[in-house]
Amino acid sequence: MWDGVYRVISRTTQRKEDIPLVRDGKTLGNTESARALAETFYPDDNTQDDDAEHRLKRKIAEVVNEGSLDDSSDPPFTIEELMWAASSFNPKKAPGNDGLTADICMAAITLDPPLFLALANKCLHLSYFPSKWKEAAVVVLRKSEKEDYTHPKSYRPIGLLPVLGKVVEKMMVRRIKWHIVPKISKSQYGFMPQRSTEDSLYDMIQYIKARTNDKKLVLLVSLDIEGAFDNAWWPAIRCSLAEIGCPKNIRRLTDNYFEDRSVCIKYLGTEWVKKTTKGCVQGSIGGPIFWNLLLNPLLQELNNGGDRCHAFADDVVLIFSGDNALEVQEQANAALERVRKWGVKNKLKFAPHKTKAMIITNKI
């Protein structure tokens, strides 16, 4: 139903024309504007910023999937998986650079399913994800209610990837989910089966009510991770896949999936192509589960420390309760220090101006 509603709204909304961006008081040209957007949305993984722990993590990520495959490897993809993945895409959605829409791809796959299944299984066997499937055409959309649209942060990038690549990616991600979803913290409500924002809000409210009924002082702290999906650190994801027990052949295919990726920003009638070295393109199939995998150690650490937390993808809320302000303050400071260390470890930053705190109490 909602797809139809959104389609009607989109048809009644006129798309605004692109305008040149401004940097340091200087108006940029068309190509410079496209480049500024690419550099803002897809920052490079700078090895110069690495500390000793980062360097060690990179080394582990490079060797963690080496060696021969064993009996724990996943079996080849099946016809049922192929047809499920191919039929799951909306034909009305925009295609990637190849121009092949979902209905065209579905028709081609239906003509000879064994051929496309053999292609997908060859990718799994060789641990190879074709480079053409890693090229994302990025459409830049305006964020609503922004006063200034001459700054890159006023826009949201949507990556359009080839549908055939997304079919194989969807089968790969489904296998990853099979192995890791049961091990993801219950505090994560985003992109998880049978869990939603309503579940998160309900559980949160019930917990707060129980604390306030016990005459506890409750503190909520909401965290905002700067460009979470755009800055997801690949070495940490690769190591986490191994630590959580994902089969080696799936991990090897994921390794190649991350290599040699590129984006093509289309803005003001020009294009700017850039290689990506970290992050998950918004619009990719794997982005959500890879992010949940990256955030999972933090959620588990907070839970093990006795802290209450709720996450929906990259939005995290911490809840603290106690008999007095000093007790709550000590809890919050200790938890926030764990959060800060996790951010440094995974090369992620928090936006202080978007971090909010709220006190809830029945006391006068």
Give the DSSP per-residue string, 235-267: HHHHHHHHHTT--HHHHHHHHHHHTTEEEEEEE
Which pLDDT score is estimated for 15? 66
Work out the average pLDDT over 16-33.
94
Backbone angles phi, psi at 351, to 5 degrees: -90, 105
Which pLDDT score is estimated for 1? 56
Give which of 200, 286, 187, 184 is closest to 240, Cα–Cα. Answer: 184
Share of the chain above pLDDT 90, in %: 88
Question: Is 70 exceeded by the pLDDT of residue 4?
Answer: no
In the structure, what pLDDT confidence band is assigned to residue 37 with cuts at 50, 70 and 90? very high
Work out the average pLDDT over 325-331.
96
Which pLDDT score is estimated for 174? 97
Categorise residue 38: left if φ over 0, alpha if ψ from -120 to 50, beta otherwise.
alpha
In the structure, what pLDDT confidence band is assigned to residue 72 with cuts at 50, 70 and 90? confident
In the structure, what pLDDT confidence band is assigned to residue 21 with cuts at 50, 70 and 90? very high
pLDDT tens digits, residue range 254-263?
999 999 999 9
The rounded mean pLDDT for the chain is 93
Give the DSSP per-residue string, 297-363: HHHHHHHHTT-EEEEETTEEEEEEEESSHHHHHHHHHHHHHHHHHHHHHTT--B-GGG-EEEEE-S-
Cβ atoms of 152 and 21 closer than 8 Å: yes
Question: Is 80 exceeded by the pLDDT of residue 155?
Answer: yes
What three-state secondary structure class fits 8?
helix
How far, in Å, CA of 271 to CA of 180, rounded? 38
How far, in Å, CA of 314 to CA of 316, rounded? 6
Buried/exposed 119-150: b ≥16 CB within 10 Å, e otherwise: bbbebbeebebeeebbbbbbbbeeeeeeeeee
Give the DSSP per-residue string, 164-222: HHHHHHHHHHHHHHHHHGGGS-TTB-TT-TT--HHHHHHHHHHHHHHHHHTT-EEEEEE
